Structure 1
Amino acid sequence: MHPWIADRTTTFDSSGIRKVFDLAAKLKDPINLSIGQPDFDVPDEVKEAAIEAIRNGKNSYSPTQGIGPLREALREEVQAKYPHEDRDVFVSSGTSGGLMLAMLSMINPGDEVIYMDPFFVMYPALLKMCGGVAVPVDSYPDFRLDVEKIKAAITPRTKMILVNSPANPTGVTATASELKAVAQLAAEKNIAVLSDEIYSRFFYDGTFASPASYNDQTIVIDGFSKSHAMTGWRVGYVHGPSEIIRTMLKIQQYSFVCSPQPAQWGALRAMEVSLDGHIEAYRRKRDFVYSALADCYEIAKPGGAFYMFPKAPTDSGEAFVEQAISRGLLIIPGNIFSARDSHFRISFAASDEQLKQGVDILRSLAGV
């Protein structure tokens, strides 16, 4: 290793998802069910708002906390949902930026953070960057948010419970009663709740719920990347207790500085754009893939996001993914998201034709 490289960088590897993306670039016309972003484009109204901002000279730094109109619109939306006495909001450089700021603001070396396994790949890496200790809690086989398992994992070093619903990679959504139980447990134990809600608009069954409804100290991460296909625009937002928000802003000032200003004007317009057609389309895609695979794979039916996490019909999820790739189907091995190597992730954020081709290959690999 080069002598100038910091030790902290050796505690985690590059994202395994990126490795699959690199492989995809080498294949000719793969059936790609690995992508973690919508297959539709940014709405035209949003594009035009950003273009207008650029043409009108809104190309400089914005205030660190975000442009005033966007922040005020977000504040009104958040206040309507969570009328807490002390809740502030700011615009982050994507939800990934928001997660990093939250960890750097709240986690000291040795602090423990509980989250469910399977998990979004960024969680353990971010914790290691700031010296935190990851405490993954096994949620197999149904991937539910189990308050008793979380309670059993709490120690005197527990600083935070990290919740992700709808979840990546499983698509499973926590119920209001599950979230309430975890939120109340955290309040009782004086533990922070960080809720990653980037897939909150991709919710297919019932009504979306947040732990912020049951614990006024909850810190929420959300954004426009997935909902409006703006993954490259880097506009997220965070809301929570004002002192936590001020600390996150202090770190943003010396790191990301701000979210790109033209993209923020696009996000302001995005708040007025209906997503109903896209959500209905993704509900239909979810139903198609689930019904096509449920008879030959063990799958927890996803209630949100655009992922499924089936159990591989072989001993190794990674080996199964290699078989699928040899057939031209790109999916993600489950061990990227988990301590177990038993499952794989499908993204149904793809065209209907790609989904049909992918389902046919998966049924064939299952021997159907």
Structure 2
Amino acid sequence: MHPWIADRTASFDSSGIRRVFDLAAKLKDPINLSIGQPDFDVPDEIKEATIEAIRSGKNAYSPTQGIAPLRQAILDEVQEKYPGQDRDVFISSGTSGGLVLAMLSLVNPGDEVIFLDPYFVMYPALVRLCGGVPVMIDSYPDFRLDPDKIEAAITPKTKMIIVNSPGNPTGVVASKSDQQAVAEIAAKHNIALISDEIYSRFFYDGEFYSPATDNPDTIVIDGFSKSHAMTGWRVGYVHGPPEVIATMLKIQQYSFVCSPQPAQWGALRAMEVSLQANVDDYRRKRDFLVQELSPNYELTSPGGAFYLFPKAPGQQGGEAFVERAIEHGLLIIPGKIFSKHDSHFRISFAASDETLQRGTELLIQLAKSS
């Protein structure tokens, strides 16, 4: 390692997803089921609102906490969802920015942070970046959020629990009762609870539940990247206890400064745009994949997000199976990128029906030849 490079950077690797993207660039007409973003475009009315903001000169820094109309609109929504709670809101540079600020605000060197395995790739890297210790709770084979396992992992060094429902990479939705139990456990032990709700709009069965309902100190991270296909716009938001939000804002002043102002005006318009038709379409895609792949793959039907996390067929590991798939022109993500286990792989069904059909046919062929 170069002598100038900080030791903390050696505690985690670059995202393995980038390797798949590099492979994708070398293939002609790949069947791409690897991308973790919607395949529909940003609605025109959101684009027009952003263009108007640019043309009208709204191009400077916004206040660190975000433009007042957007912040107020989100705060009104939060107060309606959680009446009587003392919650503050700010606009972050995407949900990733919100996660970075939450970690920097709350995690001291040596603090332990609990989350499920499989996990979103950023969780262990960000914990280590802050000098913290990731504590990964094995959730195989059904990827359930088990309150008993969470509580058993708590030590005097535990500082935070992260819940991600619907989850990436599994798409699994934690039950209301399990989330309620974890919310109560966090409150009982005075542990920070982060609820990563970026996939909250992609919810296919029943009604969405947030642990903030039962634990008013829950820090909720959400945004517009997935719900409105605005992944490149970098507009997220965080709401939680005012003192925690103020600390996160203090760090944002010296790091991200603010979310891009024109994109915030687009996000304000996005709050008025329903994309339920897209969500219904993704539910249909989910049902198609589960029906087609279930006879040949061990899998848990996802209740949200746009991912499926099947077990690799036969005796091969997930990475070996993904390499076989890529050799046949199918791009999927090895499960070991999200896990200590090398047994599964991730499919994104944020793709056209034609791509899903081609990918499904190839996956069935690969399973039968394993």
Where 2:299 maps in the other structure, the secondary structure is coil
Please list the CA deviations of residues 235-283 of structure 1 after superposition, one character each: whole Å capped at 9, or x if unmatched.
0000000000000000000000000000000000000001111000000
Offset of 1:3 from its aligned partner?
A: 1.1
Distance of 2:138 and 2:187 partners within structure 1 = 22
Offset of 1:224 from its aligned partner?
A: 0.1
Please list the CA deviations of residues 146-177 of structure 1 after superposition, one character each: whole Å capped at 9, or x if unmatched.
00111111111000110000000000001111
Please give the residue correspondences for 1:128-139 in structure 2 after superposition, counting only pairs within 5 Å: 128-139=128-139
Provide the aligned length of Structure 1 versus Structure 2: 368
User: 2:343 corresponds to which letter in structure 1?
Assistant: S
Aligned to 1:209: 209
Distance of 1:85 and 1:161 partners within structure 2 = 20
CA contact (8 A) 1:195 1:220 kept: yes
Distance of 1:315 and 1:182 partners within structure 2 = 35
Aligned to 2:354: 353
Aligned to 1:340: 341
Where 2:141 maps in the other structure, the secondary structure is coil
Please give the residue correspondences for 1:1-368 in structure 2 after superposition, counting only pairs within 5 Å: 1-313=1-313, 314-367=315-368
Distance of 1:101 and 1:77 partners within structure 2 = 22
CA contact (8 A) 1:195 1:211 kept: yes
Distance of 1:307 and 1:132 partners within structure 2 = 29
Offset of 1:18 from its aligned partner?
A: 1.2
Distance of 1:84 and 1:104 partners within structure 2 = 28
CA contact (8 A) 2:105 2:244 kept: yes
Where 2:247 maps in the other structure, the secondary structure is helix
Distance of 1:271 and 1:112 partners within structure 2 = 36
Distance of 1:263 and 1:125 partners within structure 2 = 27
User: 1:289 corresponds to which letter in structure 2?
Assistant: L
Aligned CA distance change for structure 1 residues 195 and 275 (closer, same or farther; 3 Å) = same
- Root-mean-square deviation (CA, aligned residues, Å) is 0.7
User: 2:91 corresponds to which letter in structure 1?
Assistant: V
Distance of 2:237 and 2:281 partners within structure 1 = 26
Offset of 1:289 from its aligned partner?
A: 0.5
Where 2:60 maps in the other structure, the secondary structure is coil
Offset of 1:86 from its aligned partner?
A: 1.5
CA contact (8 A) 1:286 1:306 kept: yes
Please list the CA deviations of residues 35-56 of structure 1 after superposition, one character each: whole Å capped at 9, or x if unmatched.
0000000000000000000000
Offset of 1:2 from its aligned partner?
A: 1.3
Gaps spanning 5+ residues in structure 1: where?
A: none
Query: TM-score scaled to structure 1, two decimals?
Result: 0.99
CA contact (8 A) 1:91 1:259 kept: yes
Distance of 1:239 and 1:301 partners within structure 2 = 30
Where 1:25 maps in the other structure, the secondary structure is helix
CA contact (8 A) 1:84 1:216 kept: no
CA contact (8 A) 2:87 2:241 kept: yes
Distance of 1:155 and 1:315 partners within structure 2 = 36
Please list the CA deviations of residues 291-339 of structure 1 after superposition, one character each: whole Å capped at 9, or x if unmatched.
0001110001000000000000133100000000000000000000000
CA contact (8 A) 2:79 2:85 kept: no
Offset of 1:85 from its aligned partner?
A: 3.3
Moved over 3 A (4+): none
Query: TM-score scaled to structure 2, two decimals?
Result: 0.99
